Amino acid sequence: MAPRLDTAAPTRAVAYLRVSTERQAAEGVSLDAQRSKVELYAELYGLDLVAVEVDAGVSAKTLDRPALDRARAMLAAGEADALVVVKLDRLTRSVADLGAMIDACNREGWALLSVSEQIDTRTAAGRLVLNVLGSVSQWEREAIGERTAAALAHKAANGERVGAVPIGKALADDGVHLVPDPAEARAVALISELRADGLSIRKISAELNARGVPARGKRWHPTTVVRLLKRAA
C-alpha cells in the first residue's frame, strides 16, 4: 500500500465538480455553488487548490468523463495529493464505481475529501469511513453476482435460454424456452463425421453449402464450423 500523506505538510488538492443536465450547466447555479463550497473548504483546512476540473452536463453512469480523467491523471502523476468533491454523488452514484475509486485512492496513496459527508482520508476516522464504504461496495458486487448466478441456474433448470442458444437447440415460440432443433443436430453430426474423414474446415463449409444443409446464417463459413465444433466438444 502507498504511504499515507503527511497531514502536517501542505496538501495539493484538485477539486472535481459535476452537474448532470445541460440546463444546470448553462445556468451555472449548481456549479457555482459547488465551486464556492470547495474553495471555502480549501481555505478552512489549508488546502492548496491547484486545479478545479468540471464536467458540465455529464451523467455519473460511468467514471469515463473528461474532467474526472484529468483529475485522476494529476493524482496518479503526483501532481496533486487529494481529490475534493462537494458530495460523493458528484463523483459517482454507482456502488461499484465508488469501490473502484476507493481502490485507486488506497493503491496510489492520494486522499479523498468530501465536503458534505466530512470524509477526509488523511485521518484515521476518514479512512475508516471510506473502508466501510469500500466493504459495502464489495459486498454489493458479490451479492449481485450470487443473485445473478442463482437466477441463471434457475432459468437453465427450467429449460430457459441462458446466453447463446446451445448446439442442437432452438428458441421456442415464446422466445424464452429451448426446444430441440433436429436439423442443427444433424448438421453437427455431419460436421463431426466430415472432420473425422480428414476434411479441412474450409472444405467442410463448402460441402455443407453444396449439400444445402440449413445454417443459422445464409451460408456456412469456416468460422461458423470452428465455433460449432468447439461448442459441441
CA dihedral angle for residue 208, residue 209, residue 212, residue 217, rounded to 10 degrees? 100
The vertex-138 CA angle with 136 and 142, nearest 5°, equals: 115
101/121 Cα distance (integer angstroms): 13
CA distances from 176 to 40, 75, 153, 155, 215 (A): 57, 48, 14, 9, 21
Q: Within 13 Å and on the Cβ side, how many CA atoms surround 75?
A: 28
40/42 Cα distance (integer angstroms): 5
Instruction: Decide if 86 contacts 29 (C-beta within 8 A).
Output: no
Q: Which are the catalytic amino acids?
A: 20
105/66 Cα distance (integer angstroms): 19
